[in-house]
C-alpha cells in the first residue's frame, strides 16, 4: 500500500510536473501569444497607418494625375508655341538671308554708284578746269572784242568824218580840204 501511495504520489508528482510543464508551456505560449498579439496589434496599427497613407497617397496620386494632365495640356500648348516660334524663326532666318542678299546687292550698287560719282566728280573737276580756262579765254576774247569795238568805233568816227568831208566836197567843190581833215582853204 505504501507502494501504491508512493506510486500514486509519484504519478501525482509526474502529473504535477507534467501539469507544471504544461502550465509553463501554456504560460510561455500565452506570453508568446501576448507578444504576438502585441506585435499583431502593432502591425495592425502600422497597416491602418499605411492604409491611411495609401488613402492619402491615392488622393495625392489623383491630384498628381490631374496636375500631370494639366501639365500635359500646358506642355502641348508650349510645344505648339515652340513649333510656331521655330516656324517664325525659320521665316525670320529666310528673311534675314534675303535681307542680307538685298543689302549685298544694295552695297554692290552703292559701290558702283560711288565709283560713278567719283568718276563724275573727277569729270566735274576737269570740266571746272576747262570752264576756268574757257572763262579766261572768254575774258581775253571780251577784252579783244572791247579793243576791236573801240577800234571799230574809232573807224566809224573816222568814216563819219571822211563821209562828212566827202559830202562837204560834193556840196562845196570850190573848197579844198586837207586829207587829215582839219584845214579848209577856199579856191577862188
Span 58-70, average pLDDT: 91
Residue at 53 is within a domain: yes
Is 92 contained in some domain? yes
In a domain, 75, yes or no: yes
Q: Establish if 4 belongs to a structural domain.
A: no
Q: Is residue 160 situated within a structural domain?
A: no
Q: Is residue 89 part of a domain?
A: yes
Q: Specify the pTM.
A: 0.39
Residues 9-27, mean pLDDT to the nearest whole number:
80
Predicted local confidence at residue 172, as pLDDT = 75
User: pLDDT by residue (tens digit) across 77-128?
Assistant: 999 999 999 999 999 999 999 999 999 999 999 999 999 999 999 999 999 9
* 146 lies in some domain: no
Total number of domains in the chain? 1
Q: How confident is the model at residue 186 (pLDDT cuts 50, 70, 90)?
A: very low
The larger pLDDT score, comparing residue 185 to residue 11, is at 11
Distance CA 14, CA 22 (A): 12
Q: Is residue 176 part of a domain?
A: no
133-175 per-position pLDDT tens digit = 999 999 998 999 999 999 999 999 998 998 888 888 888 767 6
Q: Which domain holds residue 62?
A: 48-140
Amino acid at each position: 500500500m505504501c507502494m501504491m501511495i508512493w506510486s500514486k504520489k509519484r504519478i501525482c508528482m509526474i502529473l504535477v510536473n507534467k501539469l507544471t510543464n504544461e502550465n509553463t508551456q501554456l504560460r510561455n505560449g500565452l506570453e508568446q501569444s501576448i507578444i504576438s498579439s502585441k506585435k499583431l496589434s502593432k502591425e495592425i496599427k502600422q497597416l491602418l497607418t499605411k492604409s491611411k497613407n495609401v488613402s492619402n497617397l491615392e488622393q495625392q496620386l489623383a491630384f498628381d494625375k490631374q496636375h500631370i494632365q494639366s501639365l500635359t495640356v500646358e506642355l502641348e500648348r508650349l510645344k505648339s508655341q515652340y513649333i510656331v516660334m521655330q516656324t517664325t524663326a525659320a521665316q525670320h532666318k529666310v528673311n534675314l538671308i534675303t535681307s542680307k542678299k538685298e543689302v549685298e546687292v544694295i552695297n554692290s550698287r552703292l559701290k558702283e554708284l560711288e565709283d560713278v560719282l567719283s568718276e563724275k566728280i573727277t569729270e566735274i573737276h576737269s570740266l571746272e578746269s576747262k570752264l576756268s580756262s574757257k572763262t579766261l579765254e572768254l575774258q581775253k576774247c571780251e577784252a579783244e572784242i572791247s579793243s576791236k569795238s573801240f577800234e571799230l568805233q574809232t573807224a566809224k568816227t573816222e568814216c563819219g568824218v571822211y563821209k562828212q568831208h566827202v559830202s562837204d566836197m560834193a556840196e562845196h567843190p570850190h573848197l579844198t580840204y586837207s586829207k587829215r581833215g582839219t584845214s579848209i582853204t577856199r579856191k577862188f
